[in-house]
Amino acid sequence: MTGQPMVKAEGVHKSYGAAHILRGIDLEVQNGEVFCLVGPSGSGKSTFLRCINHLERVDGGRLSVDGQLVGYRQKGDKLYELKDSEVAVQRRDIGMVFQRFNLFPHMTALGNVMEAPLQVKGETKAVARERAERLLDRVGLGDKMGNYPSQLSGGQQQRVAIARALAMEPKLMLFDEPTSALDPELVGDVLDVMRDLAESGMTMIVVTHEMGFAREVGDSLVFMDGGVVVESGNPRDVLGNPQHDRTKAFLSKVL
């Protein structure tokens, strides 16, 4: 692990109108770490994740990835929002996997994984295809490369979505409740892919309700509620011996 955190949030605030969703989030995610965010619905976890790649803009505080401010540049003591094209360049290094798979329905699994490297990075078809085939193999879908999303189960679609995010060779992967839309028997295959990624040293921030995964694979765990970090620490400590009443109440319902 390097000295500089991969993600650093300093007093991050986000509001939608009168609704104050994030109320001063401070946290650091180290290089190579699997960082799990848990908490009740509406606690701000997904909003925070979306702020990391500037899908949502922060209203206060600072967010940086690998030492670079996200979405802004600093001049003197003022912050100026980056142009869309500059934000797009930052996003190349950050892979995101959503609850809903968001695959292109008119493209095969292989086409979905090849698309961003072709369009965004301008790679040749041969290079993009070789990597896409390798990644689909890695997520256990080597035999489904020619299938369209409608011909795949939810779990298979989500594994294609993970391969698609990896095709851009990101330095950070964000997972927004990647298993919550899946039938229970399909969850394990997706978590296995995420475990494999964790073992390979990928820096990952995972918003999840899968407490077993957080306990087993996570390096750090943050419990959020009401837009603040209530408790954080080693996942086994927080889940096994929560210190805060709000954490205890939440875990008593989900464990």
Res 101: pLDDT: 86
Average pLDDT score over the chain: 93
Res 77: pLDDT: 85
Average pLDDT over residues 76-91: 88
Average pLDDT over residues 176-189: 90
93-114 pLDDT, tens digit per residue, is 999 999 888 899 999 999 999 9
According to DSSP, the β-strands at 7-16 and 60-65 are antiparallel
7-23 pLDDT, tens digit per residue, is 999 999 999 999 999 99
Res 1: pLDDT: 45
The reported pTM is 0.93
Res 100: pLDDT: 86
Confidence of residue 255 (pLDDT cuts 50, 70, 90): confident
Res 184: pLDDT: 87
Give the separation between CA 250 and CA 248, rounded to whole angstroms. 6
Number of other residues whose CB lies within 10 A of the CB of residue 201: 12
Closest CA to 63 of 15, 12, 13, 23: 12
Average pLDDT over residues 37-43: 94
Average pLDDT over residues 217-245: 96
Average pLDDT over residues 69-75: 90
Confidence of residue 36 (pLDDT cuts 50, 70, 90): very high
Cβ-proximal residues to 105 (8 Å cutoff; 6+ apart), any chain: 148, 149, 150
Give the separation between CA 251 and CA 234, rounded to whole angstroms. 15
According to DSSP, the β-strands at 172-176 and 94-97 are parallel
